[in-house]
Chains A and B, each alone.
Chain A
Amino acid sequence: KQEVTQIPAALSVPEGENLVLNCSFTDSAIYNLQWFRQDPGKGLTSLLLIQSSQREQTSGRLNASLDKSSGRSTLYIAASQPGDSATYLCAASSNAGNNRKLIWGLGTSLAVNP
């Protein structure tokens, strides 16, 4: 049974720091690994999706890596800004036929202080 864990649960950093959020999963047979951002009172926004055949994806100041063999993904945020404050969730997509079966981590709550 796939389990997804995110460490740390909360993180507070000063503005400008580079930081890494961690996501680990127990079953390496994943279709893809997705990172989402959740702001209070709003839905989830997709940040990056890494297919199982890929090693990393980049979007602006965000870089996500995937190491299936070790069951780990990291989200790297460069030059953090107060606007990056949010909860970051990772989700592993398993091979469950037609269903977009996503197993979710509990998230890392990030606070970037001015």
Chain B
Amino acid sequence: DTAVSQTPKYLVTQMGNDKSIKCEQNLGHDTMYWYKQDSKKFLKIMFSYNNKELIINETVPNRFSPKSPDKAHLNLHINSLELGDSAVYFCASSEAGTNQPQHFGDGTRLSIL
């Protein structure tokens, strides 16, 4: 099944903890992304990697650190979680080159207690 898959689907944790969300794509894409969808359903890009290299880094707290061990994976590590980090995080991938459509994972719902 070719897709973008992210784990876990749900993550409930306490403030101050450190957590990671994993993302893998088997579509052979070169570019991967992380988005945050807030409570008002607004989708905002956080990071983009192309062939393991960071190409887009929006204004995101440095508690958020993406890691791309290879072009098929882009993991998101979050340190010292805060209440405002509660959101749904989407991973996506696309082919390299301009204006390729993005394929999204199912999302990870992060809830901070």
The finding on whether chains A and B are genuine partners in a shared complex, rather than unrelated, reads no
Residues of B at the A interface (CB closer than 8 Å) are: none
